Amino acid sequence: MPESYTANDLLNAIASASKTLSERKDEINRLNVFPVPDGDTGTNMSLTLETVVENLAHLPIGAGSAEIRKAITTGALMGARGNSGVITSQILRGLCEGSVGYDALSTESIDSAFSHAVEVAFQAVRKPVEGTILTVLRDSAAAAKHARKKKFSVDEALEAVVTGAYASVQRTPELLPVLKENGVVDAGGYGLAIFLDGVVAALTGKEGPLGDELAFARSTMPKVEIEQVNDWEGSAFRYCTEFLVHSDTVDEEAAKDFLTTGGDCDLMVGMHPNFKVHVHTNRPDEVLGWFLNHDSQISEVHIHNMQLQSAARSEGLAADEQTARKPLGFVAVAAGEGNAKILKSLGVDVVVSGGQTMNPSTKDLLDAANEVNADAVIIMPNNKNIIMAAQSACGLSEKPCAVVSTTSVPQAFSALFGFDEEAGLDENVEAMTEAYADVRTGEVTHAIKDSKDAHDNPIKDGDVIGIADGAIESVGTDVSDVVMDLLAHMDAADADTCTILAGEDFDDAAFDALVERIESAFDDLEIDAHRGEQPLYPVVLSVE
């Protein structure tokens, strides 16, 4: 007889697997091929799944399968960070869509879910590469299909999927040469295998009795959404009072009758043991006191003076009216206060903090685009690992939105010089893309593990390394020496300008000395030096 798992079993299994992935994220990060401190595949996947768990934790008790699937897909997409997070979100979306029509977990539903996940995930990547997370997903789906044909039990099918995933991970170096050269397996594929293993282990009880992994997240109590009444005018009362009530015995009708006596716009929604109360009153203390005196606990108390809110809102509206809405605005991603200031001086409306060490999520970029007071928005991700999240944000945006696929902050500087305020969205995307096309970017940082550079030379943990457009071209022990060597590799002698940004740990004296050294070595090169204050990268530079 096939095993039977409830929806709550599955939710707890997802939460448990997310926790396992988070605990092992550093292990996954270390598999990234480049020895730079932004190897964050594990971090991005774990953050994406943590958003899923947060969404699931706030589902109402007894939520249906459609609600659960929506919480998973929405949480995954809005929390997606970096390429690995975006692809993970699409895998989860495919698994959810592929399970529609099945009332219980079965070998048939497992096969359907994984088969559809392969379709969705591969469609999301323009040029799929073998030996990556996509290969591991496809091999896992093949294992699920085999289990269905052989009429495996549910547990046997789940174990087959996990076994197939790990076997596929082991094969990734044979499919992707760069992995074999560096002696690692694919980080994203390994992360997926760990997640699947965590889900199956929790479901089948391999780790012992299941605990409620969602309990902590639920401790904040799901909040009932209540439409906010923003207009103070028309109410005879001053304080908008909201709070959660926790009680197994409170008389709901008596409470509602009481609320009408001391205020207006009163609402009490929910059911035992959790309610949400909203009321306009002049005596919030008496309202709270009534519930405390009727065998109730309260939490999440919010009291707002509507008179002051109304005045502040009026001032804000007046200020908004003075700020004319623009035809086209900009969002850019950058790490470092100096970089953010430069971008804003060049016309960027919202700078999202992030980049090499922290990839903003789809939701972060979407919120930033919505914040811009413009009819259309261009997003500059300034990092190759953020491009997919930016594209996802554009796909979700209600206003026209497009991506200029910059992979560094210096490229964004040049792209902004190509902006034409008389042109439309599409024309500016094309012009700005052309404007940064000839920009070559260099980055200097410290290696965090032994490796090899682009020419097969050894790199030791702690070495200073210079990266030119994604390839490690220089290795040394001194930042200034590596910068000079990197400029030679970037053909700086044939360039016209060099933009150089100092990191937060590169002091002014060392920076000034470096600039002087570059000026002495390249007589015809115009130097544009600034403090970018980016973390972990003492120097970021570009030539064009």
Which 3-state string (H, E, C) describes 217-264? HHCCCCCCCCCCCCCCCCCCCCEEEEEEEECCCCCHHHHHHHHHHCEE
What per-residue confidence (pLDDT) applies to 7?
A: 84
What per-residue confidence (pLDDT) applies to 320?
A: 53
Residues 6+ apart with CB under 8 A from 181: 452
Confidence category of residue 214, pLDDT binned at 50, 70, 90: very low
What's the N-to-C CA distance of the chain in angstroms? 68
How far is 367 from 354, CA to CA, in rounded Å? Answer: 14
> What is the per-residue pLDDT across 96-112, written as a single tens digit (0 to 9) for each?
999 999 988 999 999 99
Residue 136 has pLDDT above 50, yes or no: yes
Residue with tokens 């993970």: 88
Instruction: Considering only residues 123 and 145, tell me which one the structure prediction assigns the higher pLDDT.
Output: 145
Residue 458 has pLDDT above 50, yes or no: yes
Strand, helix or coil for residue 134 = helix
Residue 275 has pLDDT above 80, yes or no: no
Strand, helix or coil for residue 318 = helix
How far is 346 from 70, CA to CA, in rounded Å? Answer: 40
Main-chain dihedrals φ then ψ at residue 244, nearest 5 degrees: -95, 140
What per-residue confidence (pLDDT) applies to 209?
A: 33
Confidence category of residue 312, pLDDT binned at 50, 70, 90: low
156-182 mean pLDDT: 90
> What is the per-residue pLDDT across 382-402, written as a single tens digit (0 to 9) for each?
999 999 999 999 999 999 999
Q: What's the chain's average pLDDT? A: 86
Greatest mean pLDDT among 32-41, 110-119, 268-277 lies in: 110-119
What per-residue confidence (pLDDT) applies to 32?
A: 66
What per-residue confidence (pLDDT) applies to 3?
A: 61
408-417 mean pLDDT: 96
Instruction: Considering only residues 443 and 3, tell me which one the structure prediction assigns the higher pLDDT.
Output: 443
Residue 213 has pLDDT above 70, yes or no: no
315-322 mean pLDDT: 57
What per-residue confidence (pLDDT) applies to 86?
A: 76
What per-residue confidence (pLDDT) applies to 260?
A: 86
Residues 6+ apart with CB under 8 A from 150: none
Which 3-state string (H, E, C) describes 379-424? EECCCHHHHHHHHHHHHHCCCCEEECCCCCHHHHHHHHHCCCCCCC
How far is 541 from 532, CA to CA, in rounded Å? Answer: 10
The answer to whether 366 touches 90, Cβ cutoff 8 Å, is no
What per-residue confidence (pLDDT) applies to 227?
A: 35
Residue 230 has pLDDT above 60, yes or no: no
What per-residue confidence (pLDDT) applies to 231?
A: 39
17-27 mean pLDDT: 91
> What is the per-residue pLDDT across 76-85, written as a single tens digit (0 to 9) for each?
888 877 678 8
Which residue segments constitute the domains of the chain, with CATH numbers given? 7-217 (1.25.40.340), 222-312 (3.30.70), 325-435 (3.40.50.510), 442-543 (3.30.1180)
Among 123-132, 200-209, 228-237, 417-426, the least confident range:
228-237
What per-residue confidence (pLDDT) applies to 256?
A: 84
Amino acid present at 351: V
What per-residue confidence (pLDDT) applies to 310?
A: 60
Which 3-state string (H, E, C) describes 43-85? HHHHHHHHHHHHHHHCCCCCCCHHHHHHHHHHHHHHHCEHHHH
| pLDDT above 90 coverage of the chain, percent | 63
What per-residue confidence (pLDDT) applies to 126?
A: 63
| pLDDT above 70 coverage of the chain, percent | 88
What per-residue confidence (pLDDT) applies to 420?
A: 95
Q: At what angle do helices 82-98 and 41-57 cross, to 10 degrees?
A: 40
What per-residue confidence (pLDDT) applies to 270?
A: 56
The answer to whether 3 touches 154, Cβ cutoff 8 Å, is yes
Residue 26 has pLDDT above 90, yes or no: no
Amino acid present at 322: Q
Strand, helix or coil for residue 378 = strand
Residue 42 has pLDDT above 80, yes or no: yes
Confidence category of residue 219, pLDDT binned at 50, 70, 90: very low
Residue 489 has pLDDT above 50, yes or no: yes
The whole-model pTM stands at 0.69
Q: Cβ atoms within 10 A of the Cβ of 322, count?
A: 7
Helix (H) or strand (E) holding 466: strand 464-468
Main-chain dihedrals φ then ψ at residue 457, nearest 5 degrees: -85, 145
Confidence category of residue 233, pLDDT binned at 50, 70, 90: very low
